[in-house]
Structure 1
């Protein structure tokens, strides 16, 4: 089997809530998502998606994803997409860094592999654990009272894990965490996610001020070293996210006991192949995980669901359902939230069928000519 054509699409994903806000005044109203289609000489087609959280979150941006794919497309023609490791080695040799660019391509290869094998991707990633898995809901940055009210509303939809977007003024963030904690019920989990937004002295103030509250502290500062310093000053359970962008840093974090939970974003690591490697390493080391991505629609959500559903449940801290945040559906068969939980499709591959009328015309096509 050989890849014969690479097509790339752009699609806007507006938010149900109108805007999504997090640390440093950052916000997004419409997400710019990129979908890649790989066609083969065997008539099997695979799809993948990458959707950066704007150009100011991780070192990634939507136009860069498409430019990078145009650079990589000629290197894909003639490759066997079912040989995912070989494809990844070719991509890494052709373009240094830029893992997010490669993520959707790798995702599409897994979609093809599953279809050829007649198996859902979660089976190929290690097997399906149970009937479903737990989700969290991100609480966009607002006033303390509004964020607490949103937690109450989302609990009515079945969520029990809430990621509170903080990382702003420390006094306001302390009030946000306290207001949120007051509406929690037994069994709920609260994560205060600063998204690198605090300086060290601010983070130190916050963790000291909320010492009496059962809350996870997530990525308080920009650098690994700063986060580690705050980790050593608090007894709160600690989550690392933005700093963990490779297996090498993950191993360093384990050696330093830098975190209790790690967030594994598929595109940050470069696709399902490398995310599975990091997931399996975390499982061997006993590190709990949130399985997710930077953002995305139906296709990214499907990929997340397969990686999450194939993760041992005692090590899966939580996962996410990005397609429920946006107003546009790009694929049929995508997993849907049910009472705060989700399950991966049992159909072959990712289990999705893109809505080509939504994707529209490709922004570019490469067929080796």
Structure 2
């Protein structure tokens, strides 16, 4: 069961208006999809994070094709976690030399997703069931509508509410008056019982974060995500957590078991949010999720890309049970909508199909108009 082929595609879907956050804007929706095929005919899919920088998708695809793939061809395909550890160690020094630990980790994460998808297909099981080691595991996952704003977040939230969502996350980190006005409109539109989260995308300096959160607290945010830069010292995060009753969430920009363990031990987070395509794939993020939940925290996978990573995030959350929520970008993205459509969402809950693997099979012909050729 050796790896026989690794293929990689870059897509860019045009959008009518940019997707904007405090950290930057996307003027199109990129995706890098990876398919691994094995000598026994099995295959699996993965996705590489490539939202930022906006020119980064092609570069990451070349990393997969020219650096990672040659290390894997002819090797075993049936132990994804071992392969993830081997690649992480094998490319550690290159990541340091190139100053690119993020892009290399993201390429490895996609490989890991694809190998787990392949493993579940071989077993004839949905991935969540293959991963499950708790009686709480089920095919039910609760979703929340994310990426709302910065323009008209309340109107977009109401549209998502009509589609069956019951929890919502919108962007803050802009001018203070705008953040307050947006939250006031969100709360008025959705009502006092709605779960509303806010995401600052690392916008604030430590000396201003507590003030900004205090001004928003009266609208009862369910959590505040990344109010500080991810690399702020842990004692700074701890002081901020101690200064506010609003729970803190983070994790999409934490990389490595040691840093996740330090964050969990520090006690400043209530919600832990690793991203299966930014670091760790299924193997790394599953270990972090189990560790977080053992510590009494809630695992809510981060995701803001195409349909393959969304499917992986849902199966990962489902494997641990129905607690927590999975992020679904509310902004238009055909690379998500056409690859993994979300039908029959009811009261915020989605039921994963009982088909083998991650239940995702991109129609490459239908996506061909978005494809970007690599030199």
TM-score category, normalised to shorter length: 0.7 to 0.9
DSSP-derived class of the 1:355 partner: coil
Report the CA distance between 1:153 and its aligned residue: 2.3
Q: Does 2:318 correspond to 1:309?
A: yes
Aligned length: 355
CA distance in 2: counterparts of 1:289 and 1:18, whole angstroms: 31
Residue 21 in structure 1 maps to residue 35 in structure 2: no
Change (3 A) 1:242 1:352: closer
The SS at the match of 1:353 is coil
Distance in 1 between the 2:275 and 2:344 partners?
A: 19
Q: Which residue of 2 aligns with 1:42?
A: 40
- Whether the 8 Å contact between 1:174 and 1:209 is mirrored in structure 2 is yes
The 8 Å contact of residues 256 and 280 in structure 2, kept in 1 or not, is answered as no
1:51 pairs with 49, 52, 60, which one? 49
Return the TM-score normalized by structure 1: 0.87
1:166-198 Cα distance to aligned partner (Å, 9 max, x none):
111223222222332232325411111101011
Match of 2:78 in 1: 82
Q: Distance between the aligned counterparts of 1:344 and 1:161, measured in 2?
A: 19
Native 8 Å contact 2:46 2:308 kept in 1: yes
> What is residue 342 of structure 1 aligned with on the other side?
350
TM-score normalised over the length of structure 2: 0.86
Question: Residues 28-78 of structure 1: CA distance to partner in whole angstroms, max 9, x if unpaired?
Answer: 13122111111111111222112322217xxx9322321221201111011
Answer with 335-344 or 183-192: which moved more: 335-344
Which moved further from structure 2: 43-52 or 325-334? Answer: 325-334
Give the alignment's Cα RMSD to 1 decimal. 2.6
Any idea what SS the aligned residue of 1:248 has? helix
Contact 1:134–1:342 at 8 Å: present in 2 too?
yes
Is the partner of 1:244 in helix, strand or coil?
coil
Which of the numbers 155, 161, 174 marks the counterpart of 1:149?
Answer: 155
Shift of 1:151: 2.0
d(CA) in 2 for partners of 1:284, 1:105: 27
- Distance in 1 (alpha carbons) for counterparts of 2:75 and 2:276: 22
Any gaps of 5 or more consecutive residues in structure 1?
none
Please tell me whether the aligned partners of residues 7 and 362 of structure 1 are also in contact (alpha carbons under 8 angstroms). no
Alpha carbons 1:296, 1:323 under 8 Å: kept: no
* Equivalent of residue 229 in structure 1, options 211, 217, 239: 239
Residue 22 (structure 1) shift: 0.8
Counterpart in 2 of 1:116?
A: 122
Single out whichever of 233-242 and 275-284 deviates more from structure 2: 233-242
Structure 2 runs not aligned, ≥5 long: 93-100
